Chains A and B, each alone.
Chain A
Amino acid sequence: MENLVTVYFFGKKYQVPESLTIMEAMEYAGYQLVRGCGCRNGFCGACATIYRIAGDRTLKTCLACSTKVEDNMYVATLPFFPLVKAVYDIEKVKPTEQIMMQLYPEIYACIGCNACTNACTQGLNVMQYIAYAQRGEYEKCAEESFDCVMCGVCSARCPAEISHPQVAMLARRLNGKYLAPHCDHLDERIAEINGGKYELLLEDLMGKPISEMQELYNNREIEK
């Protein structure tokens, strides 16, 4: 029999096997999850969770799908957080400092407490990427924030009421669209396709009998 630990979901006590994640432990306890459960593997940010171990004053944050239960863990899930999402037209915005001032002016009220960074479930340097956003350094903001899953825990802890994940989302789109180097070979290939360059080649392949396609496939050269 596997060792059991004691956990408290929203203050209520349950005994669960120690190998389970917080999410699995909730299900073990009988919760049929609807909210607070998405990809179950650390990519979607649906299962932001706050917990405290009895006797420890530190309030910790995590994703329930990728964190193991601990003995005497008090758990509260945060399946939704009302982030501010500014609406904009990606074709009309420009990667200037002004755009952040217009859309997310609250970032300039950051008091430098670093609570966001301490809370990040992905271990990102959130305060740093907000600093880059303040200065209009969107490429750096994009890189620093890249692994963000937009769970919203940073914003829940922020005294300046910043919606960090949405700020980073804007910075990444500005960077991807306007600042990253342009890809010429992509344009050239699309022009070739639009000019009909591959139509005959493709139609020829579509018309071949299976035996000939097998021959072509099995003997095709594979780039090293």
Chain B
Amino acid sequence: MYFDPIMQESIKKVEAAREANIRMDPRRMTAEEKDVLLKTYHPDYKTAEFTELKMGPNKGGKVPVELAELLQGNPRITPEQVDLTKPDYDVDVLIIGGGGAGASAAIEAHQNGANVMIVTKLRIGDANTMMAEGGIQAADKPGDSPAQHYLDAFGGGHFAAQKDLLYKLVNDAPEAIRWLSELGVEFDKAPDGTMITTHGGGTSRKRMHAAKDYSGAEIMRTLRDEVLNRQIPVVDFTSVIELIKDESGCCAGAVLQNMETKELLVAKAKTVIMATGGAGRLHYQGFPTSNHYGATADGLVLAYRAGARLLYPETLQYHPTGAAFPAQIYGALVTEKVRSVGAMLVNANGEVFMNPLETRDVSAASIIRECTDRGNGVPTPEGFGIWLDTPMIEIKNGTGTIEKRIPAMMRMFAKHGIDIRKEPILIYPTLHYQNGGLKITDDGQTDIENLYAAGEVVGGIHGRNRLMGNSLLDIIVFGRNAGRHASQKAKEVSVGQLTLDHLNAFNQERANAGITTDTLSPRLLPDYTRRRNTL
């Protein structure tokens, strides 16, 4: 139920226009229209929100101001504070991060006979993977092909993807789905075993596989169960605050910190896989986020400081449909699948103003335009919102569709007294995904020897914008890939003397660049407290 009189008035218009709106098939925007729209309204084009890096491998490149602050931030330790001669852990493969990429990597490395350990600053599964709702892409149906998938992703990413990585993403996709199925992931299927697939924004074939709208949660909990079955050690509530190298410059471990006791620990490893995920909790440009609590770009910071290049760190994804109301779920993800199964975007006057399945960057920019220059947004306590007309779903597909296909969305709004089967919901773009990140080769290695990376921390797979369903896919494909290569490499690595010399070099370069901020990085967790007069 909505109690705000302006919202109630607007809903009447949405309801009155619903029958006519359902029959519409709004045309797609032309390439030129999209280009102008993005440049005018997409947050990535707000130049004042970006700054040039003064140091490091990407010196001279632009990144969001909040990220620059951390990339050029002050390390939490000095080399003298850590005794590297008595490591607390000594493993073949150290995996940093307990999300989908880290868990996939751990399983494959373990399968390959390696002694593996996962370290994560929260719990295994506290990750954006757990919150991915809509689905995972794979071209596994007749009428579709990996080449078609490549074309959709390459175009949707503005022709900027690293081609060899995208090749691997689409070509290994069906195998990734089978691997998950064989681990016991319950994909939505017809009685004859055919996968139930839908469109996502920017797909030309229906290749979105799902597990209701708990797709990521279903994948993550299964991977976690498998990690636990294999008895792979998971050191939880422990963050990585610095990478360790050996005297030959190869990555050789990490300095860890217990998040509760603050104790410092040393992990020595033959190879390291960075799988720390994204950065939504940095709240670029003041946006709310759909990301989990720990998404603070730690992996970018740690690897950058050790000498790894970033690719496209200036491109972020704002998911077009974050919850705009009520305040308790402001910024929470409303899965794209809501549109895949039939809901349209409708403005305050009840008008359909765009095709609901444009790519995410285009959809987000279009919604921002509708709420700003066009003045067709619905006022909310936090700003403005656009209606996502969910009752259309059951008019099109029959009663019961919402409970069966998007139960998480139904529950999320029901907790706040809104029945999405009968009432539309208000949405506005929310900070969702880090398109860019660490540059890797197709075997998953970064610029630093023996430092691998997988998942959202990687840049280049998707170019400058990512399609729905290609992130759950990339954490599996590239997580497994990194796990296999890092464990194979570990067989031939002999670690030299451990050192934190790169920290001294970083501090020197920092001083030379005239950077004097005392911001500590990595950030580890956001601070939402309202404390006054604390020590």
Contact = CB atoms under 8 A, between A and B. Distances in A.
Interface stretch (B75-83, B163-171, B394-402): B163-171
B174 A190 contact: yes
A202 B217 contact: no
Interface in A139-184: 142, 146-147, 149-150, 169, 172-177, 180-184
- Looking at chain A's contact residues, the main secondary structure is loop
Interface string A12-30: 0000000111001001111
Interface string B170-194: 1100110110011111110111111
B131 A206 contact: no
A194 to B, nearest CB: 8
A173 B195 contact: no
Contacts of A147: 214, 407-408, 411
A185 B146 contact: no
A184 B210 CA distance: 17
Interface residues on B, range: 35 or more
Interface string A183-200: 111110110010000100
A38 B295 CA distance: 10
Contacts of A40: 292-293
B229 A43 contact: no
Given A24-B528, A90-B184, A193-B175, A183 B167 contact: no
Contacts of A52: none
B328 A185 contact: no
A141 to B, nearest CB: 12
A68 B326 CA distance: 11
Interface in A76-108: 85, 87-90
B412 interface: yes
A42 B206 contact: no
A85 B126 contact: no
Interface stretch (A3-11, A110-118, A125-133, A212-220): A212-220
Contacts of B292: 38-40, 44
A41 B237 contact: no
Interface of A: 19-21, 24, 27-35, 37-44, 46, 66-68, 85, 87-90, 122-123, 142, 146-147, 149-150, 169, 172-177, 180-187, 189-190, 193, 198, 201-202, 205-206, 210, 213-214, 216-218, 220-223
Given A177-B181, A186-B140, 14 more contacts: A29-B530, A38-B292, A39-B292, A41-B333, A42-B408, A66-B328, A90-B183, A172-B186, A189-B174, A206-B163, A216-B151, A221-B204, A223-B205, A223-B206
Interface of B: 28, 30-31, 122-123, 125-126, 130-131, 139-143, 145-148, 150-152, 154-155, 159, 163-164, 167, 170-171, 174-175, 177-178, 181-187, 189-195, 199, 204-206, 212, 214, 216-218, 221-222, 225-226, 228-229, 231, 237, 259-260, 290, 292-293, 327-329, 332-333, 407-408, 411-412, 415-416, 525, 527-531, 534
